[in-house]
Amino acid sequence: MESASRIYIAGHRGLVGSAIVRRLAADGENNLLLPSRESLDLTSQAQVERFFETERPDQVYLAAAKVGGIHANDTYPAEFIRDNLVIQTNVIHAAWKHGVRKLCFLGSSCIYPKLAPQPMTEDALLTGPLEPTNEWYAIAKIAGIKLCQAYRRQYGFDAISLMPTNLYGPGDNFDLQNSHVLPALVRRFDEAKQRGDATVTIWGTGTPRREFLHVDDLADAAVFLMRNYSDEGIVNVGVGEDLSIIDLARLVARVVGYTGEIATDASKPDGTPRKLLDVSRIHAMGWNARVGLEEGVRSTYDWYLAHAADRRAG
């Protein structure tokens, strides 16, 4: 696809959206549409319609979503399904209605069944029950995929859907109650190191296995697919390798410099036993992740430290 003159990144201040902005800016794209949350509420159909009618973007990256870890999904199920359904519907419909040439919808690997064969291929979608702790978010994301497919079939709208694995990187959410596992571990081990704690206890048994993709790799994949892919089939984006949560905790502790003990709490939920994506489809197109996990965790920790210092100064 030729470079568009006007590119709208929905959710540009979030983890994924900000990475896409960085990636496009590095390519010299200088006509990015980045309205503030205060000026454009994506849950308001009227505001979204007005924005698309006025600004007429050529491309849209739909990275806006309500996201969070197991605790957040369990605590706010209504918000996770409602807000995501509304945002997706408003943006996808307005994009088609107002002549957007191409849209990239960012999904999630949680759309796949809890006990899907590993690694999970794209055709595992809707073949079994979801993981109960995040089914509200997963159902919303599945609806977004189907909305893109329906608009392509009925209207010929060029919408593609990417399914990234667990993401991390600069700009992540480090809130201990609502963040995902990797940024939560970064903060917990850093604070434990500062306090001199002898032990850090992590949720669950530590045995579930997860795959982690640096958000800059996802942004690179999104731009690559917008330029090289056009089909209703979803595309997995990941690294094709996983590790146990306890091994992740040890890696984060090593990067942070925490030397105490690491304990597990089996009374807390583990979530899905394993989530590893089959990434053969995107590899066959010529794209591969480039940021190694330890390298990525180090850069994420550096970002966390720098912004923690900013908060203290403020």
Catalytic residue annotation: 137
Please tell me whether 167 is known to bind a ligand: yes
* Pairwise CA distance, residues 75 & 191, whole Å: 25
Please tell me whether 203 is known to bind a ligand: yes
Nearest Cα residue to 194 out of 264, 262, 261, 257: 257
Please tell me whether 196 is known to bind a ligand: no
Please tell me whether 180 is known to bind a ligand: yes
Please tell me whether 5 is known to bind a ligand: no
Please tell me whether 170 is known to bind a ligand: no
* Pairwise CA distance, residues 121 & 113, whole Å: 11
Please tell me whether 267 is known to bind a ligand: no
Please tell me whether 14 is known to bind a ligand: yes
CA separation (Å) from 79 to 82, 83, 89? Answer: 5, 5, 15
Please tell me whether 283 is known to bind a ligand: no
CA angle, 137 as apex, 131 and 139 as ends, to 5°? Answer: 75
154: alpha, beta or left? (left if phi > 0; alpha if psi -120 to 50): alpha
Write down the residue that tokens 């090289």 correspond to.
228
Please tell me whether 238 is known to bind a ligand: no
Nearest Cα residue to 101 out of 61, 51, 63: 61
* Pairwise CA distance, residues 130 & 163, whole Å: 15
Q: Residues annotated as binding site? A: 11-17, 106-109, 141, 164-167, 180, 188, 203, 210, 270
Q: Residues annotated as binding site for substrate? A: 188, 203, 210, 270
Q: Residues annotated as binding site for NADP(+)? A: 11-17, 106-109, 141, 164-167, 180
